[in-house]
Each structure stands twice: as structure tokens, then as C-alpha cells.
Amino acid sequence: MMWDQIAEQISQATGERFQISDRRSVSGGCINQGYQISNGSRHYFIKLNQASEFAMFEAEALGVEQMWETQTIRVPKPICWGTVGNSAYLVLEWLELGGKNHPSAWEEMGQKLALLHQWTPAPNYPGYQKFGWEINNTIGSTLQINTWKNSWAEFWQEHRIGYQLKLAQRRGGNFEQGEKLLNKIPDILGDYHPKPSLVHGDLWGGNASVTSEGKPVIFDPATYFGDREVDLAMTELFGGFPAAFYQGYDQIFPLESGYERRKILYNLYHILNHFNLFGGGYGTQANQMIREILR
């Protein structure tokens, strides 16, 4: 019954009748269940979770939709999302992946990401020239606060590092220099005034790939308007992207001086979040990063 209702929603969203003839389980990440469904000619990717997680899917869909509308870098087009019984679902365009070893695709990915970062919304956009986003979303399964701010330093201090440190304290984390770091953020970022860019927000290697046709694609975003460097920093966090990616990005939108120091502050957000999600050695890593930033 659930699958029939989802098929009906796809039919309404696309204007073409869709009936599922094939359904198979695929990876949906560590948080959701994933499925490929097909009627023999059209294929879709479906994420499923508890109905209580609908807001997470809605925020992801709106983020992917906004990135799609920029017509810069490829993302899987969102089709529809909603709840059926006890389940929340998100239906996305199905993309055949598998061209990761295509060097020119990674150069193109860097170029296209730079174009996304250069994209500017219309002046009547509610958060025009501000940092944040229309709604809160999630980073992994952690709430991500996106309340609009005029100051990038204030946004990063309050909504990113400050919020994660509060969560870490509740979890029993010991970050002795956390308060000192928070107070230092306005100095670290004070003379740096980035343009608000639409960022992916969670751009590690698992959320970027190349289609079987050799086209770069990014997915599973934690979208907001922030410093474009947060995306570049995270690509370096868990092993780095191919060199061609950074060369491609630099051709379009070279980084400003000071990035090497700022990227540690930006990646601290993700390491603190990993501590809050998984515990373990991420606390030690976060403390090492805090000491390095304060040096």
C-alpha cells in the first residue's frame, strides 16, 4: 500500500502515470533506507525514514531544489516528498554513478562548484546578502541552525561552533579551551568579509561522484548561504578530492589568503558534530584542532 501511494505521488508530480514494476534496496547512507524503483523505463531513488523525520527530508528536498535551480553543478532533481503511514519519503531523480576515475569530470566538478558559489539570488530573496537559510536543516542527523545573520563571524561563532560545543557539553565532552576559541572567532574572521554563497554544507567524498556518462554530481546537502570556503575545507577533511578538482575550482574562483587557517576552524564544526554523533576519538581530534587554531 505504501509503495502504491508513493507511485501515485510520483504520477501527480511528473504528470505521467507511474506504476512500480521493480524495487530494490540500495544504500541510503547511515541514516536512511534507500531504494531504486522503476516502471521499466523510468527510475527513481527513494529515501525512507520514520514519519517523525519528515522535516529532515523536506529541508533536503528544498536545498537540492535550490541548487538545481541555479543550473550550475548537477544534483539529483527532487521529484516529491511526504509521509505515508509511519514513513517519511523523499523521491529523487535516479542517477547512474560509476565514472569516478574520469579526470576531466573532477576538473569540471571544481569548475561547476565555483559557479554555484558565484551564483547570487534575486534581490527580493528573503536572505539576500545574509548568512543562513530559509529554514533549519540537519548535518547528519544533528539539527543545523540557519537563522539569518548579517555577520559571517557571528554566524559561525553562534550557529556553528557555539551550538556544537553546547551539544558536546551535554554529551560529556571536555573542551577546556572551547570558550576561549568561541571568544576568538570574531578576531579570526573579523577582517574577512566573504560574500554569502549557496554552499552544499556537507561536501565530503561520500556526497560527490561522477555519473556513468562522466558528469560530476553532488548530493545529500546540508544547504545554507555561507562562506564558500566551508565546502572546499570539507573536501580536504576525509582524504581530499582529486587534484583536478582543486585546479578546476581555482580556474574560476581562486581562494583568498588566510584559507589555510580558516579551513581548520570550518572543519572543526564537522569534527565536533562527529563527536556529538559518534563519540570516540573525535573529541581528541577536536581538542587538537582547537589548540592549533589558538596557536
Active site residues: 202
CA atoms lying within 13 Å on the CB side of residue 35: 15
What whole-number distance in Å separates Cα of residue 22 and Cα of residue 40? 7
What whole-number distance in Å separates Cα of residue 47 and Cα of residue 76? 13
What whole-number distance in Å separates Cα of residue 9 and Cα of residue 81? 8
CA atoms lying within 13 Å on the CB side of residue 181: 28
Residue 260: how many CB atoms within 10 A of its CB?
9
- Cell output for 151: 555577520
Q: Which residues pair with 36 in a beta bridge?
A: 24, 45
Q: What are phi and psi of 207, to 5 degrees?
A: -110, 20
What b-and-e string marks burial along 218-245, b requiring 16 or more CB atoms within 10 Å of the CB? bbbbbbbbbbbbbbbbbbebeeebbebb
Q: Which residues pair with 43 in a beta bridge?
A: 38
Q: Which residues pair with 88 in a beta bridge?
A: 49, 83
What whole-number distance in Å separates Cα of residue 195 and Cα of residue 176? 32
